[in-house]
Amino acid sequence: MGEPDGDGQLEIGRGGRGAVELDRIAYFSDAVIAIAITLVAVGLVAPKVPVADLNRALIDMWPEFAAFLLTFWVIAQNWTAHHQMFRLIGSWDAALVVLNLSFLLAIVLMPFSTQLLGHYIGGLPASVVVIYTANLMACGVVRVLLWRHIRRAGLLLSTVDFGTVRYLHRTALAIPAVSLLAIPWAFVDPGTAWVPWVLSSVAARLAGGRLRIRSRPG
């Protein structure tokens, strides 16, 4: 088991108990994200109408389906990025745990903001756009802070190369930066304020390029 360093932080390497502790953090995160994405799906309630009205009722549910698909994609992207990060970590400290919990807090708020979006997506009020955008930005900003801490605190595996570091940094920045455009957009044309949310995912892919996790010799 590791010992506290000079700053009173506990760092444990990948081997032995350290690997177990890092796995516990990752598994807990996976479970929370899985519950969040399940709660988003639970918001899709099957219509209880006569058979003759079923087709119309299903068509009328398009806002809920649209909000669900958008949020599913957002959470999936965040989980993928989180998974990639934890593949590269060699040790951990208390700040990592706090930042990771903050990231999960932003994730578990997604079902609430998705329900709001689903109810009002046909005529988006600015307040709903601000809430959903703030939720997206919170996920992205905390991811940036988490990744920055991992790098600066020396928690990365020694074999991680600069290209991988740059990829994750760019993709983490792209989503909150582009999503922020939705707020002023909402006051100009609320009906299409969802466009920056979609573009943020595209921007993340373009900003980072294709990830190839490479290792430096050593």
Per-residue pLDDT of the chain (218 residues; tens, 9 = 90+): 344 344 433 333 444 445 678 889 999 999 999 999 999 998 888 888 888 888 888 888 888 888 899 899 889 989 988 998 898 898 889 999 999 999 999 999 999 999 988 888 777 788 888 999 999 989 989 998 999 899 889 888 888 877 777 777 777 787 788 888 888 888 888 778 878 888 877 777 676 555 444 444 44
Amino acid 97: pLDDT: 94
Amino acid 215: pLDDT: 43
Amino acid 5: pLDDT: 44
In a domain, 3, yes or no: no
Instruction: Report residue 10: phi and psi, to 5°.
Output: -95, 120
In a domain, 26, yes or no: yes
In a domain, 129, yes or no: yes
> pTM of the entire structure?
0.80
Q: What is the largest CA-CA distance in the chain?
A: 72
In a domain, 218, yes or no: no
In a domain, 53, yes or no: yes
User: Per the structure, how many domains does the chain have?
Assistant: 1
In a domain, 112, yes or no: yes
For residues 202 and 29, what is the distance between their CA atoms, to the nearest angstrom?
25
In a domain, 200, yes or no: yes
- Contact between 65 and 41 under an 8 Å Cβ cutoff? The reply is no
In a domain, 52, yes or no: yes
- Contact between 144 and 173 under an 8 Å Cβ cutoff? The reply is yes
Residue 177 lies in domain: 17-208
> Which residues are within 8 A (CB) of 55 and not within 5 positions of it... i.e. 6 or more apart?
none
Q: Rounded to 5, what percent of the chain is helix, strand, coil?
A: 75, 5, 25
- Contact between 78 and 143 under an 8 Å Cβ cutoff? The reply is yes
Q: Which of 90, 92, 106 has its CA nearest to residue 215? A: 90
Amino acid 208: pLDDT: 56
Amino acid 176: pLDDT: 81
Amino acid 194: pLDDT: 79
- Residue 203's CB is within 10 A of a number of other CB atoms, namely 19
